[in-house]
Chain A
Amino acid sequence: GENVEQHPSTLSVQEGDSAVIKCTYSDSASNYFPWYKQELGKGPQLIIDIRSNVGEKKDQRIAVTLNKTAKHFSLHITETQPEDSAVYFCAASILTGGGNKLTFGTGTQLKVEL
């Protein structure tokens, strides 16, 4: 089955700096890669996703890059703000009918310091 590794497990940055979180996956057939943000006491919220036919996607201060050859994808947050502090999860799946079975990474605790 699919295996997703995520690094780092914790990341501390100064407000205004950029943050980068990296994930690798094992199944070359995976073609859908979402990123989730989880705040304390809340469920994960989708912040951005990318499909394998695209190498990069950007949404305001958040961007995701995908390297299919190397089987890794990364989340980039620019101009970090204190409200970006949360746990971030990457995930991977193979898009087929009958449910989207995501395999998640172990999460990155991001702390944005003033």
Chain B
Amino acid sequence: ETGVTQTPRHLVMGMTNKKSLKCEQHLGHNAMYWYKQSAKKPLELMFVYSLEERVENNSVPSRFSPECPNSSHLFLHLHTLQPEDSALYLCASSQEEGRGQPQHFGDGTRLSIL
């Protein structure tokens, strides 16, 4: 039990589908993150939310749309994805106090685009 729960664990979708990834943290943290993990590449930071405000968007294509309705929940809405978007999508959370606290990761959603 990591304290950060991601659903679904696996998702297969066609390029024209719309789906959403969900992340929930039970750690009382106030910052949440989306990362993309592809084979043979470093984890890529996609989005950062701190106190429910988006503070980072690392040039991610608009077919990925994040949503953070409260400090415990984070969504990643997907539409019109490409085959190269197949990857493991990881959510993380941390407690932001201006000094930086460790990020705690969920176990990810394995996304496959047909």
Cβ contact within 8 Å between B105 and A100: no
Give the interface SS of chain A, mostly helix, strand, loop or mixed.
loop
B104 at the interface (CB under 8 A from A): yes
Which residues from chain A contact B105 at a C-beta distance below 8 Å?
Answer: 36, 43-45
Partner of A43, one of B99, B101, B102, B107: B107
Q: A42-B107, A44-B90 are in contact. Are A100 and B42 (CB under 8 A)?
A: no
Spell out B's residues near A (CB within 8 Å).
Answer: 2, 4, 6, 31, 33, 40-43, 45, 48-50, 55-56, 90, 92, 94, 96, 98-108
Cβ contact within 8 Å between A100 and B107: no
Q: What is the total number of residues of chain A having a CB less than 8 Å from a CB of chain B? A: 27
Shortest distance from the beta carbon of A30 to any chain B beta carbon, whole Å: 11
Q: Once bound together, how far apart are the Cα atoms of A42 and B56, in whole Å?
A: 25
Spell out A's residues near B (CB within 8 Å).
Answer: 4, 32, 34, 36, 41-46, 49, 89, 91, 93, 95-107
